[in-house]
Amino acid sequence: QLGAWAEVETVQKVVEALREVLPHLDTPLVFTNGDYNPINFLTDGQRVSGFVDFEGACFENPHIGFVKFLLWGQDDYGWGTGVKAGLVERYLYSQNISRREFSPLLLLRGLRHLILETSLEENDREWREHYLSILELALRELR
């Protein structure tokens, strides 16, 4: 349900774009914790020894978890560190995925976070504008 968001031009464009591209996505789903934040991976200094934060575990597109770095990359720890280190770009390069191919995932998860985590109220302006700018960038990259 889009509610009041249905009147926002960027949201309308995202919904239209998703209607076109989602039927063509056929990436096999994988089981994931859904949260690739580096602070969730435990290490002994040499190798990963464990991981935490599994409440969002599910089967999903293996690449969609990297969207969160772009959405939440304003912080100064896990997500922000991933953005500063170019983690998303490195991942996309290693998987031979273009930004254009990644854009539908960014649109899908970005729209979800916009609607569920912000409102059209003034007190949500900073995050709302951040999410909308990410969605607009993904729309441009999709073309």
Mean of the per-residue pLDDT values of the chain: 92
- 78, 38 in Cβ contact below 8 A? yes
pLDDT of residue 108: 96
Cross-strand bridge partners of residue 59: 31
**CA distance linking residue 45 with residue 98, whole number of Å:** 32
Angle at the Cα of 51 from the Cα atoms of 50 and 57, rounded to 5 degrees: 135
Residue written as token pair 């096999």: 28
Checking 127-130 for CB contacts under 8 A at 24+ apart, the result is 130/71, 130/74
Is the pLDDT at 82 greater than 80? The verdict is yes
What tokens does 22 get? 């989602």
pLDDT at 104 over 90: yes
